């Protein structure tokens, strides 16, 4: 029976002993049978020999992990929770509940709410709502430019001081190179990433899916690969110039992967993330005008899908993130060119990512790394690691749990997933935030 419990966020000293676990810490390479102890909201001990004598601390709650994988809680560093302004699509409460069900303990929220997170008052509201209603940790991005209009920078220093983890205009890329240079310069000074939805609107304007034979067959205007690649190339050069941390959101093309690889080889501080739908599906999923497979960047060709997997395998791509984008059915069940871009993804991220492991394409350690410490490092979060003193944010994963995705049972308020009916393997069976179990399967 599935249960949820919001964290109290109180460090009351309660001890929890996790026994009979397969401990996995992607950063250190630990993968061994063992146990872990939390006290309050922190990890206080773990290892192969812990509790080998069968004795756990007096008064501690004992959780038998059943031999399943106990790992640092997952991070999803690109989600849209729609609050404030579009609560009919998603709220911080419903979105964070979906995150907990997916084994995610920390999310980075995008600023394209209504109003935009472009000043400290909106940021403070979001943080207050998160403290009141969220099941998981919320790390908000703020907008690069006021109103996401690409014209004038926000008060970036004040926003960082107030708790912004970085800056992005998300689906509205910063087209002006001088504005982007200024943002990167400030990002460098403030020690935060500048994240870009890489799309040249002059090349993609009016497109609703990938440019290719599927778009031609359907009679739809396509978005070419080059619209992503030219922005990535420009921004890597600007990041090299400024010394800033530049992050590519939801990378989708072979060309952009090659550019990030080139930038890293040059010593540029560039990171990238990929969404599970981009390494799982191709633009053929849009056949029959399936609007639940419409997203931006769009699903690409098979060569791009394979390049994304290779980017994960060789470390060019740092993180896996969902771009969780809830939409009501009224804006998805319309003609393709009028439908909203985006799908929900928090509850399927882990399973879709584990499919790379089950297919022998990417090792388990690397897949989990991209959703734990590597993702944490992108937003400079104290998360994603099994360490003494680290936050007790954990996920217990049954790597072989067979289940079928059913849109009607997703915990997100919106149900716009293209994976309805997909049989998959691997699932979170317990999610722990600050030492408290917020989800149990």
The residue written with tokens 């060119």 in the block is 337
Tell me what pLDDT residue 289 has. Answer: 83
- pLDDT by residue for the chain (441 residues), tens digit each? 899 999 998 778 899 999 999 999 999 999 999 999 999 999 999 999 999 998 999 999 999 999 999 999 999 999 999 999 999 999 999 999 999 999 999 999 999 999 999 999 999 999 999 999 999 999 999 999 999 999 999 999 999 999 999 999 999 999 999 999 999 999 999 999 999 999 999 999 989 999 999 999 999 999 999 999 999 999 999 999 999 999 999 999 999 999 999 999 999 999 999 999 999 999 999 998 899 999 999 999 999 999 999 999 999 999 999 999 999 999 999 999 999 999 999 999 999 999 999 999 999 999 999 999 999 999 999 999 999 999 999 999 999 999 999 999 999 999 999 999 999 999 999 999 999 999 999
Full-model pTM: 0.97
Q: Which helix (H) or strand (E) holds 63?
A: strand 61-64
- Domains of the chain with CATH codes: 3-70+391-440 (2.30.40.10), 73-378 (3.20.20.140)
CA angle 261, 381, 245 (to 5 degrees): 35
Q: Which of 185, 142, 182, 146 is nearest to 162 (CA)?
A: 142
DSSP symbols for 262-293: HHHHTT--EEEEE-HHHHH--GGGGGGG-GGG
Report the C-alpha gap between 98 and 89 in whole angstroms. Answer: 13
Catalytic residues: 323
- Read off the DSSP letter of residue 336: G
Report the C-alpha gap between 10 and 136 in whole angstroms. Answer: 14
Tell me what pLDDT residue 54 has. Answer: 87
Tell me what pLDDT residue 10 has. Answer: 79
The residue written with tokens 């778009």 in the block is 215
β-bridge partners, 21: 34
Alpha helix ranges (H) inside 315-406: 349-358, 364-369, 373-378
> Cα-Cα-Cα-Cα dihedral of 265, 304, 172, 88, to 10°?
-130
- CB-CB contact of 431 with 406 (8 Å): no
As a 3-state breakdown, the chain gives helix, strand, coil percent values, each rounded to 5, of: 35, 25, 45
């Amino acid at each position: 029976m599935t249960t949820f419990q919001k964290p109290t966020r109180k460090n009351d000293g309660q001890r929890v002993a996790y026994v009979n676990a397969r401990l996995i810490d992607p950063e250190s390479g630990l993968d061994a049978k063992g146990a872990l102890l939390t006290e309050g909201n922190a990890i206080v001990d773990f290892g192969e020999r812990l509790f080998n004598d069968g004795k756990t601390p007096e008064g501690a709650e004992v959780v038998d992990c059943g031999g399943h994988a106990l790992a640092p809680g997952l991070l999803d560093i690109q989600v849209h929770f729609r609050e404030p302004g579009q609560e009919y699509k998603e709220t911080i409460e419903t979105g964070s509940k979906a995150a907990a069900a997916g084994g995610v303990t920390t999310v980075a929220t995008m600023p394209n709410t209504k109003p935009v997170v472009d000043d400290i008052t909106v940021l403070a509201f979001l943080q207050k709502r998160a403290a009141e209603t969220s099941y998981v940790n919320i790390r908000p991005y703020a907008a690069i430019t006021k109103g996401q209009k690409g014209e004038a920078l926000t008060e970036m220093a004040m926003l960082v001081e107030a708790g912004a983890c970085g800056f992005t205009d998300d689906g509205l890329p910063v087209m002006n190179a001088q504005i982007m240079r200024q943002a990167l310069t400030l990002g460098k000074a403030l020690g935060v990433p500048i994240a870009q939805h890489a799309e040249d609107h002059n090349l993609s304007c009016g497109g609703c899916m990938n440019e290719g034979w599927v778009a031609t067959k359907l009679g739809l205007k396509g978005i070419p690969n080059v619209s992503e690649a030219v922005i990535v190339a420009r921004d890597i050069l600007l990041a090299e110039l400024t010394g800033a941390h530049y992050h590519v959101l939801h990378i989708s093309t072979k060309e952009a992967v090659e550019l990030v690889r080139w930038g890293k080889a040059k010593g540029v501080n560039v990171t990238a993330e990929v969404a599970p739908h981009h390494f799982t599906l191709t633009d053929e999923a849009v056949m029959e005008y399936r609007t639940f497979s419409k997203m931006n960047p769009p699903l690409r060709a098979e060569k791009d899908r394979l390049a994304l997997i290779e980017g994960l395998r060789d470390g060019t791509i740092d993180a896996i993130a969902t771009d969780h984008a809830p939409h009501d059915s009224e804006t998805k069940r319309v003609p393709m060119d009028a439908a909203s871009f985006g799908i929900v993804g928090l509850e399927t991220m882990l399973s879709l990512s584990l499919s790379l492991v089950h297919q022998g394409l990417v090792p388990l350690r690397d897949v989990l790394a991209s959703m734990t410490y590597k993702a944490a490092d992108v937003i400079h979060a104290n998360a994603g690691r099994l360490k003494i003193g680290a936050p007790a944010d954990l996920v217990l994963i049954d790597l072989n749990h067979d289940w079928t995705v059913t849109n009607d049972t997703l915990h997100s308020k919106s149900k716009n997933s293209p994976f309805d009916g997909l049989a998959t393997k691997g699932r979170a069976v317990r999610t722990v935030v600050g030492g408290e179990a917020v989800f149990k399967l």
